[in-house]
Chain A
Amino acid sequence: MSDMWINMGPQHPMTHGLWNLRVHIDGEMILGVDPEMGYLHRGIEKISEDRHYNEVITLMDRTCYVAGMAWEHLYIQAAEKALGLEPPERAEWIRMMSEEFQRLASHIMWYAAFVQDLGLMSPFLYGMRDRDLILDLFQSYTGGRLTYEYMRVGGVRNDLPVGFNDRARKVLDWLEPRLVEYDRLCMGSDIFRRRCDDLGILKAADCVKHGVTGPMLRSAGSKRDIRKDRPYSRYAQVDFDVATAESADVTGRYLVRMEEMRQSIRILRQTLDWLDHHPGPVLADRLPRWLGAPYAPIGREAYLLKRNYPKGIGLSAIEEPHGEACAYVVNEGGEHPYRVKFRSPVFANLSAASQYLVGYHVADIPPIMGSVDVCVGEVDR
């Protein structure tokens, strides 16, 4: 038998985005893989250097378009540390709530796309239906469905509208039994189990070695979750469990994400209860005037800004729906960040592709890559 290389991508139903998986095969057996990235490289880190601190938020929504709120939260934390600003308490809780709703929406989107790849059609329709309910909530307080531009350095743009908490609770009440339904559709399906069990195995030690984080790492039995290990925002004040599985395969990743959705609902209920009883400001007062996006300081103000404003480096890490995301923001004075560097979880998860693909068959690629939950926007940035 002779071996050969085939391209899966850039336009391929498996890829969920624009990237190319070059597969080295011998018959049906995978001998090696070489992911080819960069088809969506938009230079976000470079454009950020030409933007005001608040204008970078626009780019963050588009960096990971299924988890915009999480990336806004990541950047905002780093930018606030670099600038030495503190948000009000209520803004922190609203950010945490937004991130958890985003995690729910992102996981449901993953569920819809992943199960459709396996040939089961109805989960896509169910998933998109329920995801739209969460996007409606986002729309009611940010105005956007995917790209929100909601968080600001020093808080969030506006408070939640009247009656939001009750509407949010209704959505959670609707979603909770739906998760059981999802589970029954998949775990009760013989086709699903046969296509997912014992596929794409990556043990915890290999995950750490190759930088793999998020549900892929937790499906191998590790309890690493930045929300628990290094609590940011107000995660230390809410009660939740870290979802883990032992099998380290595609089914394990599925189970971890399903359990994470349940835990997100738990966190959200506690957050909404807190927000009920603690009104207050959501944007810090006495922010520097030049933080307003369309305003560029000139003359003496620019001179003072360059000389007097404290410099600093902000570093933040959050548990994004896909894994560990880090931001490194360098403030060298002035209204633009000097350098912005992001660590994307999917970037690292994809770089280890040869570890969990080699040795399986070509027909196993869609379920395995589906379980990685690739979002090309944040890989290429």
Chain B
Amino acid sequence: MDADEVRAKLTGAGAPGILSVDPFPGVAARVRFSPDSAAPLFPIVRDALGFPHLSTVGGIDWVERYEVFYLLWSDTAKTYLLLSADLDAKAPHIETASSTWPSANWHEREAWELVGIGFDHHPDLRHLLMPDGYDFHPLQRAFKLHEPEELEVKVRHV
């Protein structure tokens, strides 16, 4: 499966909001889509293109915008497919993929927690790796690491 085939199949199935389909090293194609059309697009990619397995969901902070990418695998075509969408830098959010691919649940929780991308209609969007009440998004570029300060931990006995 290559980029032309992916493009033809997407057009044939009437997929909305496709911005571009480019060749990409290591995968069949990279499909860039508009985040508004995510909800109708995901089932089409799963059923019409035949990508039932979602490997991962990740987010990237490009400072002037956010990017969210989905890595999918097809058992019949034996290839990966990359979906990617650009999100607004102020309030990045996109429709959840977990109604189409249940495995997206935890990956989206992680992307929300670490990168700060909101997933609308997610069934269970809460902290996964950091403790509850942690208000930062460490994988944003503005979050800097530094040597730990001298600190005194007070153990409270209850």
Direct contact of A and B (CB under 8 A): yes
* Residues in A lying within 8 Å of B, measured CB to CB: 37-38, 41, 43, 45-47, 50, 81, 208-213, 222, 224, 229-230, 312-317, 324, 326, 328, 330, 338-339, 341, 343, 347-348, 351-352, 380
Given contacts A45-B114, A315-B82, whether A343 and B71 have CB atoms under 8 Å apart is yes
Closest 5 CB pairs of A and B: A211-B103, A38-B129, A343-B56, A351-B106, A315-B26
The chain B residues found within 8 Å of chain A, CB to CB, are 24-27, 52-56, 58, 60-61, 69, 71, 73, 75, 78-80, 82, 101-103, 105-107, 114, 127-131, 138-139, 143, 145
Residues from chain B with Cβ under 8 Å of A209 in the complex: 52, 101-103
A46, B71: Cβ atoms closer than 8 Å: no
Instruction: List, in ascending order, chain A residues with CB within 8 A of B61's CB.
Output: 339
| Chain A interface mostly | mixed
Residue of A whose beta carbon sits closest to that of B144 = A50
B138 near A211 (CB under 8 angstroms)? no
Is A315 in contact with B80, judged by CB distance below 8 angstroms? yes
A351: nearest residue on chain B (CB-CB)? Answer: B106
A315 to B80, CA, bound (A): 10
Asked if B103 and A81 sit within 8 Å, CB to CB, the answer is no
With a cutoff of 8 Å between Cβ atoms, the chain B residues found around residue A43 in the complex are: 138, 145
Question: In the complex, A323→B62 CA distance in Å?
Answer: 30
Residues of B within 8 A of A224 (CB): 75
Nearest A residue (CB) for B80? A317
Given the contacts A45-B114, A211-B103, A230 and B79 also touching, CB distance less than 8 Å = yes
Q: How far is the CB of B128 from chain A (nearest CB, A)?
A: 6
Contact of B55 among A45, A47, A229, A326 (CB under 8 A): A326
Chain A min CB distance to B93 (Å): 19
Given contacts A211-B54, A343-B55, contact A81 B105 (CB under 8 A): no
Residue of A nearest to B79 (CB): A230
In the assembled complex, the Cα of A47 lies from the Cα of B55 at a distance in Å of 23
CB distance from B45 to the nearest CB of A (A): 15
What is the CA–CA distance of A351 and B56 in the complex, to the nearest angstrom?
Answer: 12
| Closest chain B residue to A77, Cβ basis | B26
List the A side residues contacting B82 at CB < 8 Å: 315
Residue among B61, B79, B82, B139 with the highest chain A CB neighbour number at 10 A: B139
| A43, A314, A348 — most chain B CB neighbours (10 Å) | A348
User: How far, in angstroms, from A331 to B30 measured CA to CA in the complex?
Assistant: 17
In the complex, chain B residues whose CB is within 8 Å of the CB of A314: 25-26
B101 with A211: CB separation less than 8 A: yes
The 20 sampled A-B contact pairs (Cβ below 8 Å) are A38-B130, A43-B145, A45-B114, A45-B139, A208-B52, A208-B53, A209-B102, A211-B54, A211-B102, A230-B80, A312-B25, A313-B25, A315-B24, A317-B26, A324-B73, A328-B56, A343-B55, A343-B56, A343-B71, A351-B106
Residues from chain A with Cβ under 8 Å of B114 in the complex: 45-46
- Contact, CB under 8 Å: A316 / B26: yes
Taking a contact as CB atoms under 8 Å apart, the answer to whether A351 and B105 are in contact is yes
Q: In the complex, given contacts A210-B102, A230-B78, what are 6 additional A-B residue pairs having Cβ atoms less than 8 angstroms apart?
A: A38-B128, A209-B102, A229-B78, A313-B25, A315-B27, A317-B80
Q: Is the CB of A347 within 8 A of B69?
A: no
- Say yes or no: A81 contacts B106, CB within 8 Å: no
**Given A230-B79, A316-B26, A37 contacting B138 (CB threshold 8 A):** no
Which of A38, A81, A208, A326 interacts with B131 by CB under 8 Å? A38
Contact of A352 among B54, B75, B103, B139 (CB under 8 A): B103
Indicate if the CB atoms of B130 and A41 lie closer than 8 Å.
yes
